[in-house]
Chain A
Amino acid sequence: MEFNLSKEHLMAKQLFHDFAVKEVEPWAEETDEFHRFPWEVVHKMQDVGLLGIPFPKELGGQGCDTLAYILAVEEISKVCGTSGVILSAHTSLAADAIFLHGNDEQKEKFLRPLIDGRKLGSFALTEAEAGTDAAGQQTKAVRDGDEWLINGSKIFITNAQVADTYIVFAMTDKAAGTRGISAFIIENGTPGFTFGPPEKKMGIRGSSTCELIFENCRIPIGNLLGREGKGFGIAMSTLDGGRIGIAAQALGIAEGALEKTVQYVKERKQFNSPIAKFQNTQFVLAHMKTEIEAARWLVYNAAILKDSRKPFATEAAMAKLKASQMAVAVTNECVQLHGGYGYIQSFHVERMMRDAKITEIYEGTSEVMKMVISASLLR
């Protein structure tokens, strides 16, 4: 047993690294400054097959695995947190939900275009009154002949407006509690399906985060994903996988900040010396590096477990908990080591610090991660 990436994973990581530096990094600052969705990056990712990495070739994917996909999220997040979450939400949440729970017809109709690079996906669970209390779904789906009628709204949805395909959760039987929730596939442009304006956020500013509004939106019955009443389970299991993606995003953001900081401290001179020579700088760097490496193996391990079809929910929660807290701490320290320059946009670390925070919150807050982990201990 080895704690090393295989040759193909290493080469894939190198590909993602080169891609990130050449195609993603040049857009990072503008994406953040103007809250601008980086279409150029997304189109390039589509061209190179990055939107379907872990899915089988027969369905139009790249035929790799979760670990390879995680490496892509990591490398891209090193230079742009926004681009990292766009990839992650699309792959782990939207595409994987259909892959795991869709029927053959749905896979052909909805999954294939997502993973062969033609369309972008989004996952809509959160509502104004249902965040951590995800079961409190108020959006309703009512069967009407051979259609479903959807009414309600979702908030804080990543890839809203820009995505073509949405996995939307709604209450089909209020009396049944969590067993009364179902999952649906709804396409952008369906009459009755509109969006609120994009949120202005602390970080991942280029990510398009909007409200989804359903007003008598009619969808064919064929768009029910999985069985009626099984939606909550679908949401939870999909989110387990999504957490590995967010953990990878956090890992990448922290690594990107550290890289910039190591370069800076070698160049910046004070008191006639590069500040890299001061012990405080060295000790802080050492601590950050160790924290990053600790998080790394939690993240990779969760991905490997998922690929081995072993239970991985607890490991995914640990990975996200650790990586996100680590990223927030590391990026904060990186800004500090930059001194005044750390507060300046063109030095990047302040953006990374703002980007890192969301990883402690979305796809399950750190508190929820602790609930999952402690539950596994106390079973």
Chain B
Amino acid sequence: MKIIVCIKQVPDTTEVRIDPVKGTLIRDGVPSIMNPDDKAGLEAALRLKDEIGAHVSVISMGPRQADAVLREALAMGANAAYLLSDSAFSGADTWATSSTLAAAIEKLEYDLIITGRQAIDGDTAQVGPEIAEHLGIPHISYCEDLRIEGDEVIVKRQFEDRYQILSARLPVLITALGELNEPRYMTPGGIFDAYRESEVIVWTRDDLTVNTANIGLKGSPTRVAKTEAKSVKQPGTKIETGVDESVQYVIDKLKEKYLL
């Protein structure tokens, strides 16, 4: 069984801070990590590798330094790693990203493709399903549990108030939730092998068969018009009044913040 896992290197957004003077994001010194949902997807693939001897390839689209998350994946046990890196790919929205990844996937054999549900920087949750659309295969998102039965995958798919147990004939693309599992640690030996024994294959634009009109900034139907850091926390308000007035004050504040 051949599994492809798409992973992304992202800044650890829980560590990002806002410059109180400039109102901008402080990205310096923010560690880069493997996107958590992707890591859970990779762990799911590695468990299938342990159980049924599946072959696990990981792919990432990103700048050269994304090499680090691919090495991490190798250190966890992935068999092969591919980095799609080219200035032609940059500035991509989810359409262009998914087109690029799909083009790379088409060069490999696959029975199952796993992506994380969403990345903690883009937060769109769109790339996985769009890849499946480009490839013409079914996708199942919000996967909380999965198993293989013959030539089908059986998925526990999460909704707000229920689960569906869905089945689909392979090849299928799954988007994994962080809750899917507890990813394994790398081993020290795995890390040394990942850097000293293994290779990360780098594919540039010329290695992929894909329409230029579908990649990078030029291939992106959406553009970012502007960004603004979330406003810095102002000192709070404090009131001392009757019970009913206090309750109303809280209700008003919750509504202001769209928490109610």
Contact = CB atoms under 8 A, between A and B. Distances in A.
Contact of A15 (B186, B193, B196): B186
B251 to A, nearest CB: 32
Interface residues of B, number: 15
Interface in B184-228: 185-189, 191-196
Contact of A49 (B68, B187, B195, B196): B187
A62 B187 contact: yes
Nearest to B186: A15
B185 A11 contact: no
A309 B74 CA distance: 29
Contact of A63 (B68, B72, B185, B189): B189
B68 to A, nearest CB: 7
A64 B193 CA distance: 9
Contacts of B8: none
Contact of B196 (A8, A48, A50, A61): A8
Interface residues of A, number: 19
A79 interface: no
A50 B188 contact: yes
A114 to B, nearest CB: 16
B189 A11 contact: no
Given A8-B195, A11-B71, A11-B72, A64 B186 contact: no
A11 B72 CA distance: 8
B187 A11 contact: no
B75 interface: yes
B104 to A, nearest CB: 24
A72 B188 CA distance: 9
A129 interface: no
Contacts of B68: 7, 11
A156 B188 CA distance: 31
B189 A15 contact: no
12 contacts: A8-B191, A8-B192, A8-B195, A8-B196, A11-B68, A11-B194, A15-B186, A15-B188, A53-B188, A62-B187, A62-B192, A64-B191
Given A8-B195, A62-B187, A63-B193, 10 more contacts: A11-B72, A11-B75, A11-B195, A12-B191, A48-B187, A53-B188, A61-B189, A63-B189, A64-B192, A68-B192
Interface of A: 6-8, 11-12, 15, 18-19, 48-50, 53, 57, 61-64, 68, 72
Interface of B: 68, 71-72, 75, 185-189, 191-196
The 9 closest A-B pairs by CB, nearest first: A62-B189, A8-B195, A49-B187, A62-B188, A48-B185, A64-B188, A63-B189, A11-B191, A12-B191
